[in-house]
Amino acid sequence: MSSGNSREKRSLDRTDRSILALLQQDARLTNKEIARLVNLSPTPCLRRIGLLEEAGYVSRYKAVLDPAKLGFSIFAFLSLKRSRESSQADVARRIMEIPEVLSCHVVSGEFDLMAEVVARDMDDYARITLDHIAKMPGIYDLRSTFSIKALKVDGLLPIAREAGDAQG
């Protein structure tokens, strides 16, 4: 474990990666459960979790909600091109202020940004894109690609394995 600045990059061992993998899979696991699963006693496990949090490996804990149960049936990926006179940072900031935008990425290629948008139905989608995004200053082109079916949406980082590990 590192000493000094708690935000400094620290080397992760297999136990640290296992703890992080368990936390990202189910953040409601108790310290006692995590300790048992990684073969530690509860006190050292809690200390490791605290160090991982302090070092910034855990940025927050959140619940994963079921979009369908909450009435969201439309998922679209918007490819956005900004006008030459507009700042990419300004356009991105305005896009990210829209609650229905789940993620926004600077991308390479023909477009400048890609945003993932959720909507309840096509009328809701039209409101978000045509009434808000398409009318934003700095938007030159907007193209939509709709998700027909999500095949993988777990958002889990592949941290349990690292070079040199035989198993994760």
Q: What is the pLDDT of residue 112?
A: 95
Q: Are residues 80 and 142 in the same domain?
A: yes
At 122, list the tokens: 């096509």
Q: How long is the chain?
A: 168
Q: Domain with 21 in it: what CATH number?
A: 1.10.10.10
Q: What is the pLDDT of residue 9?
A: 66
Q: What is the mean pLDDT of residues 58-73?
A: 94
Q: Are residues 49 and 109 in the same domain?
A: no
Predicted confidence (pLDDT) at residue 110 exceeds the cutoff of 60: yes
- The region of weakest confidence among 49-53, 115-119, 130-134, 164-168 is 164-168
Q: Are residues 78 and 121 in the same domain?
A: yes
Taking phi over 0 as left and psi of -120 to 50 as alpha, with beta for the rest, 87 belongs to beta
Predicted confidence (pLDDT) at residue 33 exceeds the cutoff of 50: yes
The number of domains in the chain is 2
75 touches 117 (CB < 8 A): yes
Q: Are residues 43 and 95 in the same domain?
A: no
Give per-residue pLDDT as tens, 121-150: 999 999 999 999 999 999 999 999 999 999
Is residue 111, in this structure, part of any structural domain at all? yes
Is residue 125, in this structure, part of any structural domain at all? yes
Predicted confidence (pLDDT) at residue 2 exceeds the cutoff of 70: no
Cα gap 138→40, rounded to integer Å: 54
Q: What is the pLDDT of residue 168?
A: 40
Q: At what angle do helices 14-25 and 42-54 cross, to 10 degrees?
A: 80
Q: What is the pLDDT of residue 164?
A: 43
Q: Are residues 80 and 139 in the same domain?
A: yes
Q: What is the mean pLDDT of residues 4-17?
A: 74
Q: Are residues 92 and 46 in the same domain?
A: no
Q: Are residues 96 and 134 in the same domain?
A: yes
Q: Are residues 90 and 140 in the same domain?
A: yes
Phi then psi dihedrals of residue 17, to 5 deg: -65, -35
Query: Among the residues of 38-146, which ranges form H helices?
Result: 42-54, 88-96, 122-126
Give per-residue pLDDT as tens, 147-160: 999 998 887 888 86
Q: For residue 47, what are the domain limits?
A: 14-54
Mean pLDDT of the chain: 90
Is residue 110, in this structure, part of any structural domain at all? yes
Q: What is the pLDDT of residue 11?
A: 86
Predicted confidence (pLDDT) at residue 41 exceeds the cutoff of 90: yes
Q: Are residues 80 and 48 in the same domain?
A: no
Predicted confidence (pLDDT) at residue 163 exceeds the cutoff of 80: no
Q: Domain with 93 in it: what CATH number?
A: 3.30.70.920
Is residue 49, in this structure, part of any structural domain at all? yes
